[in-house]
Amino acid sequence: MNYPNGKKNTAKKTRAVKSGLGNKIYGNRGMTLEEDINTTNQYYLEADKAVIHKKPTPVQIVNVNYPKRSAAVITEAYFKQASTTDYNGIYRKKYIDFEAKETKNKTLFPLANIHDHQIKHMKSAADHGGICFLIVRFRVYNETYYLPLEKLLLFWNDKLNGGKKSISYQQMKQEGYLIPFHYQARVDYLAIIDKLYF
């Protein structure tokens, strides 16, 4: 199907996937975690619930090719600096800051997917009263979890002290909070924040 902007619909077809919650079946919406969070944040904004956005990654453009006046092609660019976390904003007068990750792994989430500077950034924001957390989606189960920074730090510090370099799926289920899918707020992490902080 073509849309008014002239682009074709490239969304993947829906298929049913068991969620692990009894016999409930959710459609695999063909969306990435980032797309689901962006859709959720847009809903929060339009419903006047919160103002949370994806942070742009700072890039230094080095070379641009101009094949014609109306089309410029960037041929060389570099990241200016290491990015902090994926999302930030404000909710109920509280600063919100979080990182979002997906994994195809069935049994664990590798901590190598998170970087030291991101942990330092979240710790600093939390020390100043911010609410910081990690959102992880296990794609094979189509399950998304909210992991508070305090819990993430326990796993992180264990890794630094020679312990496990990952969070097992079972640990994520025990220590994290399952975020149920909703039509408008696909990744309704504010519902978890309400339970934990308000």
CATH number at residue 131: 3.40.1350.10
- Confidence at residue 76, expressed as pLDDT on a 0 to 100 scale: 80
Buried b (16+ CB within 10 A) or exposed e, 55-71: eeeeeeeeeeeeeeeee
- For residue 177, what pLDDT band results from cuts at 50, 70 and 90? very high
- For residue 128, what pLDDT band results from cuts at 50, 70 and 90? very high
Tell me the pLDDT of the chain averaged across its residues.
85
Structure tokens at 107: 């049994």
Question: From CA 160, how far away is CA 52, in angstroms rounded?
Answer: 31
- Confidence at residue 119, expressed as pLDDT on a 0 to 100 scale: 97
Is 69 a member of any domain?
no
Tell which wins on pLDDT, 102 or 28. 102
Q: What percent of the chain has pLDDT over 70?
A: 80
Is 113 a member of any domain?
yes
For residue 121, what are the domain limits? 15-57+84-197
Task: Report which listed range, 66-75, 77-86, 140-149, is most confident.
Answer: 140-149
Beta strands in the chain (DSSP E): 15-18, 25-28, 51-54, 59-68, 71-79, 87-91, 94-103, 108-110, 131-138, 143-148, 166-168, 177-178
The tally of domains found in the chain comes to 1
pTM of the model: 0.77
Question: From CA 160, how far away is CA 177, in angstroms rounded?
Answer: 24
Is 2 a member of any domain?
no
Is 21 a member of any domain?
yes
Q: What percent of the chain has pLDDT over 90?
A: 67
- pLDDT exceeds 50 at position 19: no
- pLDDT exceeds 80 at position 4: no
